[in-house]
Structure 1
Amino acid sequence: MKYEAPWWLPGGHAQTIWPALWARRTLGPPPAYVRERWLAPDGDFVDVDFLWPCAAAGAAPAPLLVLFHGLEGSSRSHYAQAFAGVARERGWGFAVPHFRGCSGEINRAPRAYHSGDHEEIDWILRRLAGLQRTGGGARAPLLAVGVSLGGNALMRWAGEQGGRALASADAI
């Protein structure tokens, strides 16, 4: 299926700017995130914003959708709020791990994030997978998506995993 831009929104620049300024981000109120600060293996920190579903008693654990944001993005980005709205509508949890320096606070270490940072993606995914474990050892689904730079870092992680990517996804 070929994409055809609406007549009133020609060109890639306009199509990029329009949703950032005017598109509806969510149905209902904006997401009310709960922030956790995780101590990274190198002694620095990573802030993760969560949106947890209201679980019904006895219900199966909800999937967790993880968004790796784009360059200078955050949980406040228009696309993050849109993903949060979709997760909320489906009864899923949602998490946005902020790349270093993108959570609104300068990090302690001189290490910066980059589009090939598969080691940090691996550490974050493993930690999030641990949160998805249930009492019986089973794991609720963990879903990951990346936008722009975050998508590149996530795909680099998958590439570094090689044939282990699917097994890793099940194991982590």
Structure 2
Amino acid sequence: MEPAYRGLGRCACAFWLAVAFDVFGLLILLLGVFVNVFFYDFLIYAGAIVIFLSLIWWVFWYTGNIEVPPAELEDDVGLLKKDKGGAGGIGGAVRRLSSRVSSGIRSSLRRNGGPSAHARVARQPESLPVALATMTPREGTPHTVSAAVDCDVAMPHTTTETSPT
């Protein structure tokens, strides 16, 4: 035996949350309208947003209280009755078309390597080997280091002091 729901139905929590959001939003909105503060526009917008968010709870409460007889629910979840035949009429044609389109999309995604669970790794460019030559420093000329890719880099002359060991 199902419990008898009176008044608010099965989703009383969603109902009271919706009412609380409405009351709180209305209070904030009215504060913004009637109280002389420099941030009145913030209060007006915040109250309107809170009232808008209460719609979520109203939708939860309403949809949670919709009662669907099991006879109608059987058809929606794919358990067709034997006496209807399952494939007759416009409903059967729409169901077959929907099944054909969804299976075609699913198979084409599998075939073409569609969205997968693994993130695709971007290919890194191959590293180029660079050969460095050791050169003896000449006085008064900048030092250059040449690489295998024909790129000359001018380096200023620096001296290194070492402590005697």
TM-score over 0.5 for the alignment? no
TM-score when scaled to structure 2?
A: 0.19
- Which structure shows the higher strand fraction? 1
TM-score with structure 1 length normalisation? 0.18
- Higher relative contact order, structure no. (Cα contacts within 8 Å, ≥ 6 residues apart): 1
More helix by share: 2
